[in-house]
Amino acid sequence: MLVVMQANATEQEVRAVCERVESLGLKAHPIPGSMRTAIGITGNKGAVDLGALDSMPGVVECIPVSKPYKLVGREVKPDDSVLVIPTPSGDVKIGGGNLAIIAGPCAVENREQAFAAAEAVRAGRNVVVVTPTASGKTLCYNLPVLNAILENSDSRALYLFPTKALAQDQLAELHDLEERLGDAFAVFTYDGDTPQDARRAIRERGHIVLSNPDMLHAGILPHHTRWMRLFENLRFIVIDELHTCRGVFGSHVANVLRRLRRIARFYGSDPQFICSSATIPNPRELAEQACHIEIDLLGEPIGKQDQYIAAYGGPTCF
Q: Is residue 314 assigned to a domain?
A: no
Percent of the chain with pLDDT over 70: 81
Domain boundary among the residues 80, 97, 123 is at 80
135 and 65 within one domain: no
Report which DSSP code applies to 318. Answer: -
Domain boundary among the residues 65, 80, 95 is at 80
Nearest residue to 62 via CA among 71, 70, 53: 53
Q: Which residues contact 228 (CB under 8 A, 6 or more apart)?
A: 267
138 and 46 within one domain: no
Per residue in 77-89, pLDDT (tens digit) is: 667 778 888 878 7
232 and 157 within one domain: yes
| 314 band by pLDDT with thresholds 50, 70 and 90 | very low
39 and 175 within one domain: no
CA distance 257 to 309: 13
Q: Is residue 279 assigned to a domain?
A: yes
Q: Residue 254: its pLDDT value, please?
A: 94
- CATH number, position 10: 3.30.70.1140
29 and 120 within one domain: no
| 169 band by pLDDT with thresholds 50, 70 and 90 | confident
172 and 29 within one domain: no
234 and 175 within one domain: yes
115 and 54 within one domain: no
Provide mean pLDDT across the span 46-56: 74
CB 272 within 8 A of CB 306: no
What is the torsion angle, in degrees rounded to the nearest 10, for the CA atoms of residue 17, residue 22, residue 27 and residue 29? Answer: 30
Q: Is residue 306 assigned to a domain?
A: no
CA distance 57 to 95: 35
Q: Residue 263: its pLDDT value, please?
A: 96
Average per-residue pLDDT in the chain? 83
- What range does the domain containing 178 cover? 109-298
Q: Residue 76: its pLDDT value, please?
A: 56
Provide mean pLDDT across the span 286-304: 82
CB 234 within 8 A of CB 265: no
Domain boundary among the residues 80, 98, 120 is at 80
Per residue in 11-43, pLDDT (tens digit) is: 999 999 999 888 888 888 888 877 788 888 887
Nearest residue to 39 via CA among 89, 3, 9, 13: 3
Nearest residue to 199 via CA among 174, 163, 226: 226
Based on its alpha-carbon atoms, the radius of gyration of the chain, rounded to whole angstroms, reads 30
Q: Is residue 99 assigned to a domain?
A: no
Q: Is residue 90 assigned to a domain?
A: no
User: Is the pLDDT reported for residue 51 higher than 90?
Assistant: no
58 and 123 within one domain: no
191 and 274 within one domain: yes
Beta strand ranges found along the chain (DSSP E): 2-5, 27-32, 37-42, 59-63, 83-85, 92-94, 127-130, 156-160, 187-189, 208-211, 234-239, 272-277, 296-298
Q: Residue 72: its pLDDT value, please?
A: 54
124 and 48 within one domain: no
Per residue in 228-267, pLDDT (tens digit) is: 999 999 999 999 989 888 888 989 999 999 999 999 999 9
Percent of the chain with pLDDT over 90: 39
Q: Residue 67: its pLDDT value, please?
A: 57
Nearest residue to 130 via CA among 284, 253, 237: 284
Q: Amino acid identity, residue 271? A: P
Number of independent structural domains in the chain? 2
Least confident span in 49-53, 117-121, 262-266: 49-53
CB 29 within 8 A of CB 42: yes
Provide mean pLDDT across the span 282-298: 91
- CATH number, position 229: 3.40.50.300
Q: Is residue 94 assigned to a domain?
A: no
Torsional sign, CA 236, 241, 242, 248 = negative
Q: Is residue 315 assigned to a domain?
A: no
Q: Is residue 13 assigned to a domain?
A: yes
Highest mean pLDDT among 86-100, 123-137, 235-249: 235-249
Q: Residue 277: its pLDDT value, please?
A: 86
Provide mean pLDDT across the span 111-116: 78
What is the torsion angle, in degrees rounded to the nearest 10, for the CA atoms of residue 54, residue 57, residue 58 and residue 63? Answer: -10
